[in-house]
Amino acid sequence: MKLTKKQQDFADYYIELGNAEKAAIKAGYSKSYARGNAHKLVANVSIKKYIDERMEKLASERIMSAQEILERLSLIANAEIKETVVVANAEGYAEVEKPPDFKTQIQAMKELLKRYPGNDKLLEQQLRKLTAEADIAESKAAMIQSATDKSTEEKLDELLGKISEVIDDK
């Protein structure tokens, strides 16, 4: 059975609003009819079928395909896609775009590798190398952080102590 224009409008507004009474009023039904009979419109077989078909179509448009997922993972793995992060600065806060960090890239690569049955040894070695680089970068960041936690005086004392040790050894 074909829907009338008013029924189709009701179904479209119902999908948009999620409220049968408001959808009926917006579609052109009177407030008194909408208040007492909107639930009957939703229960109407033809309208329900139309709503179900539209919802299925909307869902398929919103859900990523396997190809889109693989393409997005590849962009992340190759650091070709940026993410926006909020950072504190002298003026307050700012949004900055940055490439994905090593761990995120590695995770994307692992996800890509899962989809290829004959895991190539070269890819595994590249992944190992990237993991090692990520670990090194984290270690350097930790060292820099701990170094900045020390006062200048402590750093000088430590340096002078090491120089004294070298001189005493000779």
Query: Quick one: pLDDT at residue 148?
Result: 62
Question: Where a domain ends, among 14, 38, 62?
Answer: 62
Q: Do 149 and 88 have their domain in common?
A: yes
Q: Which of 36, 29, 104, 28 is nearest to 73 (CA)?
A: 104
Q: Are residues 14 and 96 in the same domain?
A: no
pLDDT for 46: 92
Whether residue 161 is found in the same domain as residue 83: yes
The pLDDT score that the predictor gives to residue 5 is 94
Give the pLDDT confidence score for residue 104 in this predicted structure: 85
**Euclidean distance between CA atoms 73 and 111, whole angstroms:** 8
Query: Across the 170 residues of the chain, what is the mean pLDDT of every consecutive 10-residue run?
Result: 90 90 94 92 90 82 74 85 85 86 83 66 76 84 70 75 75
26 plus 72 within the same structural domain: no
Same domain, 34 and 90: no
Interval 34-62: pLDDT, tens: 999 998 998 899 999 998 888 888 777 76
From 15, 47, 62, the end of a domain falls on 62
126 and 44 housed in the same domain: no
Q: What does the pLDDT read at residue 88?
A: 85
Per-residue pLDDT tens digits for 13-38: 998 888 999 999 999 999 999 999 99
Instruction: Judge if 58 and 72 occupy the same domain.
Output: no
**Contact of 82 with 97, CB cutoff 8 Å:** yes
Q: Which of 81, 73, 59 is nearest to 111 (CA)?
A: 73
- Per-residue pLDDT at 33: 93
